[in-house]
Amino acid sequence: MEESLSRSMVKVALLGEDDGREIEARVSQSLAGVDGGKPEELRATVRRLLEEESARLAEQVRGGANGLRVAQNRGHFYSALLRELWARAEGENAGSSLVMGAVGGFGREEMSPASDLDLVFIREGSQREVAE
């Protein structure tokens, strides 16, 4: 496990200097003015963001960008989007006992254009408590 983790850390370090801050800022700015009480507005904004990011990544590929870099940028985008949406959904429940984690390609930061988002949700408590 440690050997695999070390290789992943080296791979990410070799991809370049961008650590996703620009992507995070773009996602945050796009969602900043959206009223959380209007789910249809949030849904439309997220769809627009997904289309824009897909076009941006396709342009990177057409421009000759490194494939690993594009896959990393796709992962940064989805991470930023999910963090923003999670923070909105968590609201008053900040610090609750529910955790979201990424697995599969998303968890490994290997997001190809056909990749899906594999997420796992873990909640504190016994099975019976969670079921209730």
- Which residues lie below 8 Å from residue 109, measured CB to CB, with a gap of 6+? 8, 12, 71, 72, 75
Question: In tens digits, what is the pLDDT along the chain, a chain of 132 residues?
Answer: 444 444 443 333 333 345 688 999 999 999 998 887 788 999 999 999 999 999 999 999 999 999 888 998 999 999 999 999 988 887 666 667 788 889 888 888 888 888 899 999 888 877 776 666
In the numeric block, which tokens belong to residue 45?
């904004």
CATH architecture of residue range(s) 2-131: 2-Layer Sandwich (3.30)
- Which residues lie below 8 Å from residue 118, measured CB to CB, with a gap of 6+? 102, 103, 104, 105, 106, 107
**pTM for this prediction:** 0.75
